[in-house]
Structure 1
Amino acid sequence: MYFEGSEKKAEIVIDSQQLSLLDDFADEFWASLVECCNAQILSHISNEQCKAFLLSESSLFVWNDRLLILTCGVTQLINSVEYFIQQVGVDKIQQVIYQRKNEYFAHEQASCFGDDIKSLGQYVKGKAMRFGELDSHHNYVFHQDNDYLASAEDKTYELLAYQINSEASKVLTTAHLSAQKIRQFLTIDSMLSGFLIDDYVFEPFGYSLNAIKGDQYLTIHVTPQEDSSYVSFESNLNLVELAPQILAVLQPASFDLITFNEFEITDLLTKHVPELYVSQSLVSDQLSNGYQVGFANFIKPQRTFGNAKSLDIRGENHAL
Structure 2
Amino acid sequence: MFFEGSEKKAEVVVDNTKLSLLNDISNTFWQELVECCNAQILSSIENEHCKAFLLSESSLFVWDDRFLILTCGVTQLVNSIEYFIQNTQPEDILHVTYQRKNEYFSNAQLTSFGDDIKLLSKYLTGKAYRFGEIYSHHNYVFHQDNEFQAEPDDTTYELLAYQISEYASKKLTTKGLSTQEIRDFFCINELLPGFEIDDFVFDPYGYSLNAIKGTDYYTIHVTPQAGSSYVSFESNLDLFTIASKILDILSPSSFDLLGFNDPQFSKKVTTTIKSPYISNSLVSKTLDNGYLVCFASFITPETQYSTPLALDLTGENHAL
**1:218-257 map, 5 Å:** 218-257=218-257
**1:108-127 map, 5 Å:** 108-127=108-127
Q: CA deviation at 1:303?
A: 2.1
Cα 1:299–1:79, aligned 2, differ >3 Å: closer, same or farther?
A: same
Using the alignment, how far apart are the partners of 1:106 and 1:115 within structure 2? 13
Percent of residue pairs identical: 62
Using the alignment, how far apart are the partners of 1:89 and 1:121 within structure 2? 17
- 1:205 is matched with which residue? 205
Using the alignment, how far apart are the partners of 1:210 and 1:165 within structure 2? 24
Q: CA deviation at 1:29?
A: 0.4
Aligned length: 320
Which secondary structure state, in structure 2, belongs to the residue aligned with residue 158 of structure 1?
A: strand
Answer yes or no: is 1:182 the counterpart of 2:185. no
Cα 1:315–1:145, aligned 2, differ >3 Å: closer, same or farther?
A: closer
Q: CA deviation at 1:110?
A: 1.1
Q: Is the 8 A contact 2:131 2:139 kept in 1?
A: yes
Using the alignment, how far apart are the partners of 1:18 and 1:51 within structure 2? 19
Q: Is the 8 A contact 1:240 1:257 kept in 2?
A: no
**What is the identity, as a one-letter code, of the residue corresponding to 2:251?**
Q
Using the alignment, how far apart are the partners of 2:79 and 2:314 within structure 1? 34
Q: Is the 8 A contact 2:107 2:318 kept in 1?
A: no
Answer yes or no: is 1:48 the counterpart of 2:48. yes
Cα 1:316–1:139, aligned 2, differ >3 Å: closer, same or farther?
A: closer
**1:1-320 map, 5 Å:** 1-320=1-320
Using the alignment, how far apart are the partners of 1:316 and 1:98 within structure 2? 29
Q: CA deviation at 1:310?
A: 3.2
Q: Encode CA deviations 1:266-287: one digit per residue, 9 max, x unaligned.
A: 1101111122101101110011
Please, which runs of 5 or more residues in structure 1 have no aligned partner?
none
Using the alignment, how far apart are the partners of 1:282 and 1:300 within structure 2? 16
Which secondary structure state, in structure 1, belongs to the residue aligned with residue 75 of structure 2?
A: coil
Using the alignment, how far apart are the partners of 2:191 and 2:305 within structure 1? 36
Q: CA deviation at 1:312?
A: 2.5
Q: CA deviation at 1:314?
A: 2.9
Using the alignment, how far apart are the partners of 1:257 and 1:94 within structure 2? 27
Using the alignment, how far apart are the partners of 1:274 and 1:90 within structure 2? 47
Please, which runs of 5 or more residues in structure 2 have no aligned partner?
none
Q: CA deviation at 1:316?
A: 4.3
Q: Encode CA deviations 1:11-45: one digit per residue, 9 max, x unaligned.
A: 00000110100000110000000000000000000
TM-score (norm 1): 0.98
User: RMSD in angstroms over aligned alpha carbons?
Assistant: 1.0
Q: Is the 8 A contact 2:311 2:319 kept in 1?
A: no
TM-score (norm 2): 0.98
Q: Is the 8 A contact 1:127 1:145 kept in 2?
A: yes
Which secondary structure state, in structure 1, belongs to the residue aligned with residue 6 of structure 2?
A: coil
Which range moves more in the overlay, 68-77 or 117-126? 117-126
Cα 1:191–1:75, aligned 2, differ >3 Å: closer, same or farther?
A: same
